[in-house]
Structure 1
């Protein structure tokens, strides 16, 4: 009798389950969001989001004060009441300025040259470069140089709004705070030149930046090193005339600056011998330092930003390396699949190929069933139509829906029902093996149907006494939905083409639960079906390899299975598969160091399974991640071309697999969409399996809801009111 207390506990449990349900998606979702955020930040600091490469043409100068046009290279427009003024560098003083850095190659060489000759200068850094190489900014400050702002993304500010200008300056200051713990009052506009080049478009920007507290520093001597005219030309153009002071424009980034570095090696000692001093801007002007220490939250915000940028850079490097790895793996795998599948096809189609004399001995077919009332009748009827002599044992694993009663009511010949308390599929199979009368045991799922020739084709390889198990050709019967079509492609290409490859390599990793056969002696030697993992079919297959048995593939032993029809059901199934595969790999890991057949499987089979079934699928979505990255940040054409190239390779493999399986090519129409969406789902499932494994979590069996729509080819599907012309495609 249900009491109020028990109902209350039940309701609390249901509420707790509902609250916990999203947790299965939380960690993968957080990981994906963090990954995308890191990539967005990477695009941000590489000027790939807000980059604006427009440059204004020269404009009239009638709105620019004459004092500015005729003045010095330092413009002070900070006063809200007094007119803007300019400052000149005293005679025999040189302020070397370097734009666009810091650069990891050229900036250290420039700093080394300045240090060698005890010279100082001003580095106008961009936020994008400074955030990526903060150590160089710190070195500039430590060695006594001044640092100025050159905006974050290097746009022409005459095109930008006041809010965008403020953003460019504040972001640049944020980076300086994180890199060296300072803020600066020096600013140089991108694409600036001499003071007399100020025009009606650039002057309002200079005046506005002045109101924000900055000195605008242009130049009065351009080395034109950006043209790379040669060392003598750079020195000649950088040399002040008549002993006058100068603000000299040079660059430590933006391309090959080897000529700049070489020119400094001659220019610095030559000008020092002429009595010139290379100094900071504020020192030359006799003004307080342009640097102000940053403290408090502003400092920590800057440090957090620089740290996050560094993390995004390293993560991107790892992703690029991962993409290269997955690219190689994909090509290697597809190449192996095509080559070995071709060789497998030639082998089995040779006229002289034979497993031995025809195998005519009766076999036992085990059908473990738990709540399979929708499917079990079709399954058993398909077996009764078999062309090979068989006994059929249905093991009812504690069903509560009358599955066993349905089988018994059919009153079919050679069909026995064994009932047990619910104990799971491995226990049901072991129970079936104990009741089997024959030396060969065929195993299938309760939602699967066989063709009349399936058993005969499946057991023929046992004519070879070295064969311990045979994998059949599992096919999706309910392929008329989009999810079903995607799984159909996966079964034909990803599973059956793989099995041909593994057959040739003699390291078949899995006998599919839907259609497989075992030599009973082989099962006895390894202790039967193990309950150690959730992938008992993979576990037993690996155990057979380690015991020295051959495991082969019978491509004509077709079985039609009902694939999950919803994302939730597909998730549950693949989650169990991937987690169970990891368990099986870990269980049989000692095979790597063992000798004999076990060692061969450990050093060939286990690496292949781990690489192509666990690692590669986890990295595969990087192809799509970088497709999105390329579409947003560029280069779009190369990115799309590379992605289409990968898709083309997959399409070739899929078409060949469909040809080998004699399937209609029309199902491949959904291949591009499958690669975009289905691959992401499989990635999240595998990631969740990794998390479950690494955190020591436990995953239980999950029963999928069946519909009973799959019957043997040629038999109409009508029991549940469905259309009579809907048949599995053979």
Structure 2
């Protein structure tokens, strides 16, 4: 990770390639999903009944009263059929992994051949069966890519369905077919205008259409004897019997075929394929171009299927992670709250308890306020800290402000406030300057856009009675929570501080003490060399350094600080971009903690692992989730997809509601939670994507400050339940 440059003005950094990459990835995923949705959800194999039609006015009498093999390739309609005592046996809707091999075995047993009209989507799933059909000497014809009704399909889909099936055949076998059977077709007199138009379009591409003269109706599974009866020739005339090797349970078809072939042989009928029956060569070797195109087509469809399968499993994993996270954070938050209540009860002497009672921390503390162009809120911040019920020394470090921030702080004339001016060096430089001037062992750091409640400092520092504690995180609250953007950030803060931080506290892997409110042992800070300027998230870097040095970092929920949140999407983007990028820098810097023991190991294996999964990997996967959701609404069951989305939303709602309850916050802002999933969530994952790409590209970012609005007021103290 690159080091940041110090300064107060943003440096325009334009990393646009990653948006191109993201767009390309989403397009590829969307294409894969569309392809799979088309192949598996727009049409289905199973019911092979003839599509009813009221009109056959355009169908020539030659077709209606002719033979089952229809040829209109030269503009003149001709028909033909098998000669007497010849059966051109045909099978539709395969290949099927269960029934096609059984049917092939029966054909081989009786030493006969047949014609298999394959569905392209099924052939891609079972290419070995298509190859076996050819190897056994049987014939293959086109039955469309997805078993679509060509009679009702628009021209573009007819082309795609027929050509797509041919591409699949060429890609798998290296051969091309001439015979075509439209799905849902039957005998000649059942051909309607739509089907005839599709037959003509196929003829223009060089196809012969094969209808049937004997429909076994085995797709209805009427019983073996009925199928045999339907197949039985009524005279010596040649026939084209129709059976099915796919589309459902074909056990009756297999049994009836075995018995019927014996009957046909006994009656002197020759059973063969359509091409052999009428004396034509129905298959040819595909050209090199056709084979290349077919292979590419097949592999493209396979890759799309693999991509969808991978995404589906990733969605399952993401769902499991989401549920596990909800259970963990709520469980740990409840446990943290019970522990805090026991300590409070022990300290107040309300009941006997085994919790050790430690004396209150009453020593004065030093509060460091780094400030650069904080004129909008510096006076409210300093006044609120000076009004603390705990004795404080306040050091305001003006870091090269140009808006009179230092003058405003000095104008307050407060006796316990010291204003120090320095050239602009960045926030870490200002914090280190304040640290050098600190008079007390406990140091509180607070941003210049933050105000404290009167009891905040006292509540914040009490856990320092435990000598293992090196830093304490307070509870940051959004002050300007009006409007929907403010409500969304308010929800995020409440959930983050009251669920995630409680989990981090009990798991002893706190990754961040926020810059808005944090308390530190001065010796611990000096031990790690003060505040580092290696990252844009100096608070996260500092906290991780303390953990790696063996110090415990804890959370104090009733130590509240009120801060201004961004009031526009642009300002929010800049703030979160810096936070996320800095967090990635800190994670990379402290990656060695994974292999350490003690507090460092807990940070590495628990804290960094949590951040990696929840704040990096899941957001990176989130755009694909959104694309998949659209896919589900279009191609899958919309009700089921909506139910899954509502389930996810309910998990988020219950987590937020519990966090609000812990923080004594009214639940009213939670009405914005559903809307948050459509705007705020997308903004956050786009921030993560840009941060990750920027970090991987090694682009240097400079520090920049958030716009201030001057909305800070010292709120009244809240009572914790």
Deviation at 1:265, TM superposition (A): 6.5
Deviation at 1:440, TM superposition (A): 0.8
Does residue 313 of structure 1 match 2:305?
yes
Deviation at 1:67, TM superposition (A): 4.8
Match of 1:470 in 2: 472
What is the correspondence of 1:412-427 to structure 2 with a 5 Å cutoff? 412-427=414-429
What is the correspondence of 1:250-399 to structure 2 with a 5 Å cutoff? 250-260=243-253, 279-291=272-284, 293-296=286-289, 300-350=292-342, 351-354=344-347, 356-399=358-401
Work out which of the residue numbers 149, 156, 171 in structure 2 matches 1:156.
Answer: 149
Match of 2:25 in 1: 31
What is the correspondence of 1:529-678 to structure 2 with a 5 Å cutoff? 529-678=531-680
Work out which of the residue numbers 458, 461, 465 in structure 2 matches 1:459.
Answer: 461
Once residues 241 and 159 of structure 1 are traced to their aligned partners in structure 2, the CA distance between those partners, rounded to angstroms, is: 33
Deviation at 1:689, TM superposition (A): 2.5
Matched residues, number: 696
Match of 1:518 in 2: 520
**Cα deviation code 1:658-694 (max 9, x no counterpart):** 1221222221111101022211111122122232344
Deviation at 1:497, TM superposition (A): 1.8
Bigger mean CA offset, 22-31 vs 639-648:
22-31
CA RMSD of the aligned region, Å?
3.4
Deviation at 1:273, TM superposition (A): 8.5
Once residues 582 and 139 of structure 1 are traced to their aligned partners in structure 2, the CA distance between those partners, rounded to angstroms, is: 54
Once residues 31 and 446 of structure 1 are traced to their aligned partners in structure 2, the CA distance between those partners, rounded to angstroms, is: 41
Q: Is the 1:132–1:313 Cα contact (8 Å) retained in structure 2?
A: no
Q: Which ranges in structure 2 are unaligned for 5 or more consecutive residues?
A: 1-10, 348-356
**Cα deviation code 1:419-472 (max 9, x no counterpart):** 333332223222221211111111111211111111111111112222211111
Query: SS state of the match for residue 151, structure 2?
Result: helix
Work out which of the residue numbers 472, 475, 484 in structure 2 matches 1:482.
Answer: 484
What is the correspondence of 1:489-528 to structure 2 with a 5 Å cutoff? 489-528=491-530
Work out which of the residue numbers 220, 223, 230 in structure 1 matches 2:213.
Answer: 220
Once residues 699 and 105 of structure 1 are traced to their aligned partners in structure 2, the CA distance between those partners, rounded to angstroms, is: 60
Q: Which ranges in structure 1 are unaligned for 5 or more consecutive residues?
A: 1-15, 716-730
Bigger mean CA offset, 498-507 vs 173-182:
173-182
**Cα deviation code 1:56-115 (max 9, x no counterpart):** 4254768755554444321222232x4x33222245654443322344555566556656
Aligned in 2, Cα 1:55/1:232: closer, same or farther, shift over 3 Å? closer
Once residues 213 and 339 of structure 2 are traced to their aligned partners in structure 1, the CA distance between those partners, rounded to angstroms, is: 81
Q: Which has the higher contact order (CA 8 A, sep 6+)?
A: 2
**Cα deviation code 1:497-523 (max 9, x no counterpart):** 211222232322211111111112222
Once residues 435 and 105 of structure 2 are traced to their aligned partners in structure 1, the CA distance between those partners, rounded to angstroms, is: 79
Does residue 74 of structure 1 match 2:76?
no
Deviation at 1:177, TM superposition (A): 4.6
Q: Is the 2:508–2:599 Cα contact (8 Å) retained in structure 1?
A: no
Deviation at 1:191, TM superposition (A): 0.8
Bigger mean CA offset, 689-698 vs 484-493:
689-698
Q: Is the 2:364–2:391 Cα contact (8 Å) retained in structure 1?
A: yes
Aligned in 2, Cα 1:366/1:63: closer, same or farther, shift over 3 Å? closer
Aligned in 2, Cα 1:676/1:200: closer, same or farther, shift over 3 Å? closer
Q: Is the 1:347–1:353 Cα contact (8 Å) retained in structure 2?
A: no
Once residues 623 and 165 of structure 2 are traced to their aligned partners in structure 1, the CA distance between those partners, rounded to angstroms, is: 34
Question: Could you tell me the TM-score, scaled by structure 1's length?
Answer: 0.86
Query: SS state of the match for residue 46, structure 1?
Result: helix
Does residue 48 of structure 1 match 2:50?
no
Once residues 261 and 537 of structure 2 are traced to their aligned partners in structure 1, the CA distance between those partners, rounded to angstroms, is: 73
Aligned in 2, Cα 1:65/1:676: closer, same or farther, shift over 3 Å? closer
Does residue 249 of structure 1 match 2:251?
no
Aligned in 2, Cα 1:176/1:664: closer, same or farther, shift over 3 Å? same
Aligned in 2, Cα 1:172/1:389: closer, same or farther, shift over 3 Å? same
Question: Could you tell me the TM-score, scaled by structure 2's length?
Answer: 0.87
Does residue 195 of structure 1 match 2:188?
yes
Q: Is the 1:323–1:622 Cα contact (8 Å) retained in structure 2?
A: no
Q: Is the 1:626–1:639 Cα contact (8 Å) retained in structure 2?
A: no
